A = this chain, B = another copy of it.
């Protein structure tokens, strides 16, 4: 009896952004494990068990999936976006390292997906066209001082910055503090992109200058990107301006 465990990225929301590799893994799974809204994106069918859990239970969920696979089931843990970016893959390896040694020998595969920042960037141009970084703004698993240090380092070295998990009910002030810190380094004109529910019917994308960026524009489904000093707008007579960061740059002071 040989089970398997796959961690699959479902992308930002639209079916047409799910890779054939992930679709094939979902089609042969006996069990789908994950946070409720992601599990709901996998259609019911005969022979498939869907196990939905709450958002805060990553380690428990990983352990549950590992036990199912060890029992011979073909398990897929579903993540939105890419599973390796602030999602379930790291939690799985934390569980493996701390857990039963036999879990290390299971058939385990991570299947990449379209991460929110690339889906969002594609919608408005090419804001990530030059060096960039991704920061999880949540201070649940690291001290806020570490977040601030990284924001400062990234802005001073003129990276474009993608902020995951910018805001939640339990973390209401962090995004505003981040904008304040960045306004101390960057000109007020640097574009900030609020990309909410990308590729979903509720998609909304706003671009505002850093000087006017208000944290209230973001919610739990928002990806926030802050341009570098080089990020530019190309106005159009119809539709939104394109936003992009050129491939070239000068010296960083």
Contacts and interface: CB of A to CB of B under 8 A. Distances in A.
Nearest to A164: B131
Contacts of A133: 131-134, 154, 159
Interface string A122-141: 11011111111111100001
A188 interface: no
Contacts of A153: 153-154, 156-157, 159
A21 B14 CA distance: 9
Contact-residue bracket for chain A: 35 or more
Copies in the complex: 2
Interface stretch (A28-36, A68-76, A86-94, A203-211): A86-94
Interface string A154-191: 10111100000000000000000000000000000000
A193 interface: no
Interface stretch (A45-53, A103-111, A212-220): A103-111
Given A84-B118, A118-B84, A150-B157, A110 B125 contact: yes
A158 B150 CA distance: 8
Contact of A145 (B19, B145, B251): B251
A94 B236 contact: no
Nearest to A198: B112
A95 B36 CA distance: 44
Contacts of A58: 247
Interface of A: 11, 14-21, 24, 58, 82-86, 89-94, 96-97, 104-105, 108-115, 118-119, 121-123, 125-136, 141-143, 145-146, 149-150, 152-154, 156-159, 232, 234-238, 242, 244-252
